[in-house]
Structure formats: structure tokens, C-alpha cells
A = this chain, B = another copy of it.
Amino acid sequence: MPDSSPLPDRISRLKEAIAGVVGARHLVTDPADLAPHLADQRGLYTGRTPFLVRPGSSAEVAEVVRLCAEARVPVVPQGGNTGLCGGATPDQSGAELLLCLGRLNRIRALDADNFTITVEAGCILSDVQRAAAEADRLFPLSLGAEGSCQIGGNLATNAGGVQVLRYGNARDLTLGLEVVLPDGQRWDGLRGLRKDNTGYDLKHLFIGAEGSLGVITAAVLKLYARPREVVTALLALPDPAAAVQVLGRARRATGEAVTSFELMPRIGLEMAVTHVEGCTDPLAQAHPWYALIELYGGQEQGQLGQALEAMLAEAFEAGLVSDAAIAQNAQQAAAFWRLREGLVEAQKHEGGSIKHDVSVPVSKVPDFIAAAAAEAQRRLPGIRPVPFGHVGDGNIHFNLSQPPGMDRQAFLALWGEMSTAVHDIVAGFDGSFSAEHGVGRLKVEEAVRLKPAVEIEMMRRVKRAFDPHGLMNPGKVVTPEA
């Protein structure tokens, strides 16, 4: 029977009961200790919570969630708190309990012959990568926050990153899950199978649901052979259309060995060179566009570099590539990647930036960039589009730097209007208004505005079927009908 006494009484009793489950020292109430958990990465949201709980096992997570369900107290799961859409921040009510998974940080098993690793939700992504490498295997999920994000959060948000082109999103790397449902039942779906057609594939509901259908506590992840050869090159290109053609040729010429293909405009490279330590202009001349390409191969002195060179020679003849530098060693490869990462960092030094994480079909990237840049410049002359990112996945981080000299706050006040315009253009190209960052709290209304009504209706049906009382991460991803 649900407890229907006043909220403060319920929370007080709940706290006592949860302390009995996890131990009082794993409850956090000190404001200084809570603060980093109550604001999101970008500073868009700040919330409140009666207390934060750190269970130490999936059994404890299940018991905590069961107690919360009984008390009808909502739960907000949180991993490394590196999300960009406010999906892990409680609201301002002070009634939402914060559930942190960081103590569930064991690697439960690594089966090299099955090419799988079984990890708990609180494992740091880079620790998972390292454990795989130590067993001569590759866990290919790789993204900026990998040193602090937790794998449970990566799965809850279906993280993407720089190797999706070859290895897929977090979803595609997952074979099995352990999940605590909103009523506290625990589902052991930790299967390490490549083929399992025994009913609805429920793991795909929880992956990308941002904790709104249950709490992921562990997962079986796919591993791959660790590459013996890594080839990294920086290409100069006349335009994004050439990038799309070169990508297709590279996939073909290397037998699908391309792991990353990152587009950068000249303006972004200049920002990196200007503002970020260790970034230098890599080629003799300036070019309007660049692509960073990386390939993984199986042989120490393989033909991969030669295959890439032969493809580039043909692309040069065809006018698709203007210049190129193939990294001769790991340091040069790192320098190319520093430009790509530096471009993100550098934008902070150029004033306000209105950001979009969008995707379109790869074939439509050039037209999308042209149309969205033109529209932004029409709305605000002097605005500086810095479109960059994972063109191999059609995923463009369409960032708009403010006109030099403009007031930063006045510029950022245009965020809503600019975003609506950019997302409308994305929709016109059959694209997505959130390619890899998720919906969280930031894009709940945008989802309702842009997705087919029947799709929102189906999401609501699923939410009701799994969480009839609306207690799991309320207000995120999908909200009940108004």
C-alpha cells in the first residue's frame, strides 16, 4: 500500500529506511557535498533534493527504489553528471531523491573469447576502455568526458562519440542489461549473446531512456579486436560535399576500416590555433574545410596507410582533396586530434556560443550546413557559424559564435529563436534535433514540437506501462499529456 501521509513525514521515514539499507554514511545531506550534484554540467539547471543516496550494489538500488515507490517519492538517477541536457538534475521541488551510482564500480567479468565485458553502472568509461585493452581487446565507445562519465549514464543516454561510424552508438555495443524497475523489481537481462530472439528486445527501451523507465545497474558490453595499426590523417577539402565523397571512397578503399571522420571548418581551426596551447596550423596553406580521418587495421605494417594514400591520390586528381598530411607517429596523430578537441575549447574564448547537436542523412550534410548558416546570418549579420563534428554519422555540432564585439547576454538571449530556426531546417532535411546528447529536460518541448504526434503518444504509453506513478526521473524525455 502506498504511503499517503504528508510529504515531510514520508521523506523522513524514507530516509530512515534507506539508511537501514545502505548505511547512514552513504546518505548525503551536507549542502557543500550536495552542490556538485544539484547543478548540471552546463549550468542550465539547479535543483534541490531531500538527500542523496549512494547504494553499494544493485540489490541495494532495488531496495532503495522499492522504498521510494512505496513512499511515492520520485527518484533521479545520476552517473558522472556530465550530460548536456539536464537529464540528471532534480527539479526545484526538493521532493526528488538523488540516486548516485558511483559505488557500483566493479568490472564483474571479462570474457576475452566471447569478446564481452560485464560492468556495473558506476564504472568510469576510461576504466572500461583500460580493462579491455589489458585483455588485448577494444571497447570502442570514446568521447570527450570519458575520464569522468560513468558507463551507466552512457547507456542511459545512448552515448555516441567519435567512433560511431564503425562501431555504433552505446546501444549497438550492448548485449545485455541489469535494470531496477520503477517498482523496485530487478531484471537480470545480463546476457552475453550475439543472437537471442526470444521476445521483445527490452534492453533497447532502457538504453536512451535517460533513467525515465528504470535504473540501469549493470551491462554486458561488446568488445572488439584491438587494432595493431592506427592510421590518422588530416585532409584539406574544398567544401563539405567533398568530405561526403571522400568518406565514401575511404570506406570502400579500406574495407570499412574507417573509425572516425571529423569535419572542421577553417574558422574553427583558427580558433583552436589562436586560443589553445599546442595547436598549430597543420598544413602549409589555409583551406576552407578539413577532415580528420582515422582507420584501424589488423596488421602492424599493414596496407592501410598505402590504401589511404592511393585513395587520396585519386581524390586529389578528382579535386575532392586539396592537401593532406598522414601522421607519421602517435605524436602527430595526437596533434591532429588536439585540433579537433581544441576547436570545442576555443569557442569559449570567442564570446557566447549557441549550440546545436543535430544530425541529418550524411548525403544532406552539405546542403544542411549551407542552409542553416545562411539562415543564421540572415537573422543576425556577423554571426559566425562553426559547424563541425562527426560527419561520418551525419552528426554536426552546429555551433554559432557571436558577432565580435556584440554583448554576450544579448546574443545568448537569441538562443531560443536561433534554435527553433536551426531545428526547423534540420527537420526539413529529415534530421534529428538531438543526435547524441539526448532530450533530458532541455528538449522535452522540442520533442513534442518536432516528433510525429503518434511517436510521442507511443512514448507516453511505454512510460505509463513501466512507471504508472511517474516516479522515475520525472519531467525528463517525455512528460504526461497536458
A395 touches B361 (CB 8 A): no
B195 touches A436 (CB 8 A): yes
| Per-residue B-contact encoding for A449-468, CB less than 8 Å = 1, 0 else | 01110111011011011100
Instruction: Tell me how far the C-beta of A295 lies from the nearest C-beta in chain B, rounded to whole angstroms.
Output: 9
Q: Which residues of B contact A107 (CB under 8 A)?
A: none
Report the stretch among A34-42, A164-172, A314-322, A338-346 that lies at the interface.
A164-172
A369 at the interface (CB under 8 A from B): no
Q: Which of A172, A194, A395 has its CB near the most chain B CB atoms (within 10 A)?
A: A194
A205 touches B204 (CB 8 A): yes
Q: Which residues of B contact A211 (CB under 8 A)?
A: none
B226 touches A459 (CB 8 A): no
* A:422-437 near B, CB below 8 Å: 430-437
Q: Which residues of B contact A430 (CB under 8 A)?
A: 191-193
A29 at the interface (CB under 8 A from B): no
How far is it, in angstroms, between the C-alpha of A205 and the C-alpha of B114 when the chains are bound?
26
Instruction: Tell me how far the C-beta of A180 lies from the nearest C-beta in chain B, rounded to whole angstroms.
Output: 11
A193 touches B359 (CB 8 A): yes
A297 at the interface (CB under 8 A from B): yes
B187 touches A458 (CB 8 A): yes
| Per-residue B-contact encoding for A435-448, CB less than 8 Å = 1, 0 else | 11111000100010
A198 touches B257 (CB 8 A): no
Closest residue of chain B to A360 (Cβ to Cβ) is B193
Report the stretch among A66-74, A247-255, A262-270 that lies at the interface.
A247-255
| Per-residue B-contact encoding for A183-201, CB less than 8 Å = 1, 0 else | 0011111011111111111
With A193-B435, A254-B298, A299-B255 in contact, do A200 and B462 touch (Cβ < 8 Å)?
yes
Our pick among B195, B299, B435 for the contact of A195 (Cβ within 8 Å) is B435
* A:223-246 near B, CB below 8 Å: 224-229, 244-245
Our pick among B196, B204, B304 for the contact of A204 (Cβ within 8 Å) is B204
A202 touches B248 (CB 8 A): no
* A:110-143 near B, CB below 8 Å: 111-116, 136
Instruction: Tell me how far the C-beta of A387 lies from the nearest C-beta in chain B, rounded to whole angstroms.
Output: 15
Q: Which residues of B contact A256 (CB under 8 A)?
A: 224-225, 296, 298
Q: Which residues of B contact A205 (CB under 8 A)?
A: 200-201, 204-205, 462
How far is it, in angstroms, between the C-alpha of A458 and the C-alpha of B189 when the chains are bound?
12
How far is it, in angstroms, between the C-alpha of A194 and the C-alpha of B168 when the chains are bound?
8
Q: Which residues of B contact A204 (CB under 8 A)?
A: 201, 204-205
User: In the assembly, how many copies of this chain are there?
Assistant: 2
Q: Which residues of B contact A260 (CB under 8 A)?
A: none
B437 touches A197 (CB 8 A): yes
How far is it, in angstroms, between the C-alpha of A245 and the C-alpha of B257 when the chains are bound?
23
* A:66-107 near B, CB below 8 Å: none
Instruction: Tell me how far the C-beta of A479 lies from the nearest C-beta in chain B, rounded to whole angstroms.
Output: 11
Q: Which residues of B contact A115 (CB under 8 A)?
A: 248, 251, 362
Q: Which residues of B contact A195 (CB under 8 A)?
A: 160, 164, 169, 359, 390, 393-395, 432, 435-436
Q: Which residues of B contact A359 (CB under 8 A)?
A: 193-196
* A:30-71 near B, CB below 8 Å: none
How far is it, in angstroms, between the C-alpha of A252 and the C-alpha of B135 when the chains are bound?
12
B434 touches A194 (CB 8 A): no
A447 touches B194 (CB 8 A): no
| Per-residue B-contact encoding for A376-408, CB less than 8 Å = 1, 0 else | 000000000000001011110000000000000
Chain A contacts to B: CB under 8 angstroms = 111-116, 136, 157-158, 160, 164-165, 168-169, 171-172, 181, 185-189, 191-202, 204-205, 207-209, 213, 224-229, 244-245, 248, 251-257, 296-299, 302-304, 307, 359-364, 390, 392-395, 430-439, 443, 447, 450-452, 454-456, 458-459, 461-462, 464-466, 477-478
Q: List 19 A-B contacts (CB under 8 A).
A: A158-B201, A165-B194, A169-B195, A194-B393, A195-B395, A195-B432, A199-B208, A199-B439, A199-B455, A199-B459, A201-B208, A202-B462, A224-B256, A252-B298, A255-B297, A255-B298, A256-B298, A299-B303, A299-B307
